[in-house]
């Protein structure tokens, strides 16, 4: 199950046999040029004045680096690594430094190398990074599978997959930033406020590169989506359209065609094993009071897959490299939040340092992690919680993807479902500092689509939509669920199919009402009605929640606030209609005399009893 979190189409051979997968250092050679410097540029005015530059070039370690005088910037020293092709330069950029170009020279080889390193002005717009919180409604999509808006970037000849093959689930299909931009209005019509694409950084792997979870360059957009500059423009255009952007990131591993793997700075930049060793995929090893050190190491340092080298974040140089990269993306693009893939697999101390560094620079930044675990306590362990530290680890991540609620909604909506699971999933919220920062979802790219799980029952799916958009937390909708896209998780990858209408030649265009079937329009309209209602009613965003223990297969809860707004929700998991006595809910109904059913607009003149049709949700705005 856990292997799916980074994409289930990854069991492909590494670029070389395992015995040779850790190349020895190349022989020393005179500096012939600088291939790159990471970060690619930086900014003045950062709270942390320290900057670590990783210089890459043939034999660059044999050179002496010097910095021409620049007011406010000092060269603290350089550091060689095991590979002769890397050199670290440590700088201090004081608050007095101004934007400009640092003049770096490298001497000692056959030629004197010069490099102008750019320092930019940091943005002064405090509202540029908006954050992600419970006022948002997230739409999660795979850019390659959503819509193709720019045919010119479908084929990039320099990449290992330089063709489009829409008949293959392993291949690229051509979706891109422009395709998403062309459907901003579609997203807003559902009340969506934030877009979460799967990782957009370069993934130049020879197979299944479309999902992005085996990155091959930390600092560049995948050119098949658009240039790095076009990604920054995409974020800006989203903001101009009232939409936030969540950047999906992988801390734990990189792709086996990443330059840091193909030409490793040092052996301790990756977690090495005598032979290929997978993670045991069991986070219980981290906080088991009786656990073995071997199991903890296997979990954190084992590789996620053969094509995903595990990054050694306990190395402070590696930790700094990663932290700087994720600060870089925020400052460069103005993105609003991070979703962290395989969050628990990373080194625990690094996770604390990473989170602290980002929030120091951007206190408003939204962050939630994937913690695909089996219990509420284990899930809460990886978010801000009331628990004591374990082996020095105390999570500072604001929220997590709520897999416990996901298990519960799937159980509740099945034909003989148990809505008590929903009650129990939220009952454990006392473990969190603030459970409203958790992200609710019914399905995603790693699991069977909810419509198929429910036997393609539209009434029960609509119950799920009602729960998603009225319960506590941040709702997330997987692309196409609103138009009844289906299929089960399998090696064929059909849960990641193209959105119909997003590509030239599609037989139908599901982005339009005319292109959708009657059931598809019913589903879409239901989401739109509740989504836009949620967007305009703070009670469903930030209101308190009170839930009642389910009885006779009916789960009832209320969202309410100090402004006098109250919404009552009843989920009937029975096939037949039920009449519910309203007197049980007096502590929330007192003061109200009537209500309006939100989706249908039907008046509810009496709150003493409620008739709830079978397999349906009743969402009622109460009136005084």
For residues 485 and 461, the answer to whether their CB atoms sit within 8 Å is no
Q: Whose structure tokens read 């999570």? A: 395
Omega of the bond leading into 320 within 30 degrees of 0 (cis) = no
Three-state secondary-structure class, residue 135: coil
What is the rounded CA–CA span in Å between residue 311 and residue 288?
A: 24
Q: Give bridge partners of residue 432 from the DSSP assignment.
A: 385
Q: Whose structure tokens read 């374990």? A: 390
Characterize the bridge pairing of strands 439-441 and 194-197: unpaired
For residues 257 and 215, the answer to whether their CB atoms sit within 8 Å is no
Q: Whose structure tokens read 């589903």? A: 523
Q: How many CB atoms lie within 10 A of CB 87?
A: 27
For residues 93 and 44, the answer to whether their CB atoms sit within 8 Å is yes
For residues 202 and 223, the answer to whether their CB atoms sit within 8 Å is yes
Residues 6+ away with beta carbon under 8 Å from 217? 201, 202, 204, 258, 259
Instruction: Return the closest-CA partner of residue 278 out of 252, 313, 250.
Output: 252
Residues 6+ away with beta carbon under 8 Å from 250? 6, 199, 213, 214, 215, 340, 341, 342
Instruction: Return the closest-CA partner of residue 621 out of 192, 600, 546, 413.
Output: 600
What is the rounded CA–CA span in Å between residue 172 and residue 203?
A: 11
Q: How far is CA 31 from CA 114, 116, 264, 265, 573, in A?
A: 12, 17, 17, 16, 70
For residues 334 and 129, the answer to whether their CB atoms sit within 8 Å is yes
Phi, psi (degrees; rounded to nearest 5) at 524: -60, -45
What is the rounded CA–CA span in Å between residue 7 and residue 5?
A: 6
Q: How many CB atoms lie within 10 A of CB 151?
A: 12
Q: How many CB atoms lie within 10 A of CB 47?
A: 10
Structure token pair of residue 96: 């007095």
**Cα Rg, the chain, nearest whole Å:** 26
Structure token pair of residue 37: 């410097």
Phi, psi (degrees; rounded to nearest 5) at 544: -70, 160
Q: Give bridge partners of residue 621 from the DSSP assignment.
A: 567, 596
What is the rounded CA–CA span in Å between residue 515 and residue 508?
A: 5
What is the rounded CA–CA span in Å between residue 341 and residue 266?
A: 25
What is the rounded CA–CA span in Å between residue 608 and residue 281?
A: 51
What is the rounded CA–CA span in Å between residue 543 and residue 588?
A: 13
Structure token pair of residue 541: 């965003």
Catalytic residues: 341, 370
Q: How many CB atoms lie within 10 A of CB 409?
A: 26
What is the rounded CA–CA span in Å between residue 238 and residue 232?
A: 10
């Amino acid at each position: 199950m856990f292997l799916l979190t980074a994409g289930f189409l990854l069991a492909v051979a590494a670029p070389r046999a395992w015995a040779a997968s850790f190349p020895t250092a190349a022989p020393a050679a005179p500096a012939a040029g600088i291939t790159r410097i990471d970060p690619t540029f930086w900014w003045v005015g950062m709270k942390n004045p320290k900057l670590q530059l990783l210089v890459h070039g043939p034999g660059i370690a044999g050179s002496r680096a010097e910095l021409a005088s620049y007011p406010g910037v000092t060269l603290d020293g350089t550091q060689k690594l095991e590979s002769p092709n890397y050199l670290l330069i440590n700088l201090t950029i004081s608050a007095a430094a101004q934007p400009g170009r640092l003049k770096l020279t490298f001497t000692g080889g056959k030629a004197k190398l010069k490099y102008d390193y750019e320092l930019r002005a940091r943005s002064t717009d405090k509202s540029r990074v908006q954050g992600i919180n419970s006022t948002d409604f997230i739409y999660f999509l795979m850019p390659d599978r959503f819509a193709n808006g720019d045919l010119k970037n479908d084929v990039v000849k320099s990449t290992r997959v330089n063709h489009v093959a829409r008949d293959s689930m392993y291949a690229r299909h051509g979706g891109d930033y422009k395709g998403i931009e062309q459907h901003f209005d579609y997203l807003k019509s559902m009340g969506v406020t934030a877009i979460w694409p799967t990782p957009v950084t370069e993934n130049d792997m020879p197979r299944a590169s479309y999902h992005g979870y085996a990155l091959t360059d930390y600092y560049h957009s995948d050119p098949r989506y658009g240039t790095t500059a076009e990604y920054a423009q995409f974020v800006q255009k989203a903001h101009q359209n009232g939409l936030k952007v969540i950047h999906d990131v992988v801390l734990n591993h990189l792709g086996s065609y990443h330059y840091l793997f193909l030409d490793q700075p040092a052996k301790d930049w990756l977690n090495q094993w005598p032979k290929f060793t997978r993670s045991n995929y069991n986070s219980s090893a981290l906080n088991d009071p009786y656990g073995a050190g071997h199991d903890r190491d296997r979990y954190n340092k084992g590789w996620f897959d053969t094509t995903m080298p595990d990054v050694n974040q306990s190395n402070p140089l590696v930790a700094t490299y990663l932290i700087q990269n994720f600060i870089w993306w925020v400052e460069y693009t103005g993105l609003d939040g991070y979703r962290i893939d395989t969050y628990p697999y990373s080194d625990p101390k690094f996770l604390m340092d990473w989170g602290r560094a980002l929030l120091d620079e951007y206190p408003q930044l939204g962050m939630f992690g994937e913690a695909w675990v089996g219990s509420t306590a284990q899930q809460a362990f990886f978010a801000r919680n009331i628990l004591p530290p374990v082996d020095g680890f105390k999570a500072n991540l604001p929220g997590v993807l709520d897999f416990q609620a996901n298990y519960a909604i799937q159980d509740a909506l099945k034909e003989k479902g148990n809505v008590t699971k929903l009650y129990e999933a939220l009952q454990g919220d006392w473990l969190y500092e603030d459970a409203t920062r958790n992200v609710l979802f019914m399905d995603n790219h790693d699991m069977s689509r909810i419509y198929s799980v429910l036997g393609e029952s539209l009434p029960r799916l609509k119950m799920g939509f009602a729960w998603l958009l009225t319960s506590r937390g941040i709702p997330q909708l997987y692309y196409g669920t609103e138009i009844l896209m289906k299929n089960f998780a399998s090696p064929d990858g059909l849960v990641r199919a193209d959105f119909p209408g997003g590509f030239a030649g599609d037989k139908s265009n599901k982005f339009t009402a005319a292109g959708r079937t009657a059931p598809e329009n019913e589903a879409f309209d239901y989401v739109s009605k509740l989504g836009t209602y949620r967007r305009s009613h703070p009670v469903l965003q930030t209101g308190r929640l009170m839930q009642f223990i389910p009885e006779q297969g009916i789960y009832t809860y209320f969202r309410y606030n100090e402004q006098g707004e109250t919404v009552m929700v009843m989920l009937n998991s029975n096939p037949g209609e039920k009449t519910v006595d309203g007197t049980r809910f007096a502590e929330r109904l007192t003061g109200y005399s009537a209500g309006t059913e939100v989706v249908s607009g039907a008046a509810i003149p009496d709150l003493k009893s409620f008739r709830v049709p079978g397999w349906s949700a009743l969402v009622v705005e109460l009136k005084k």
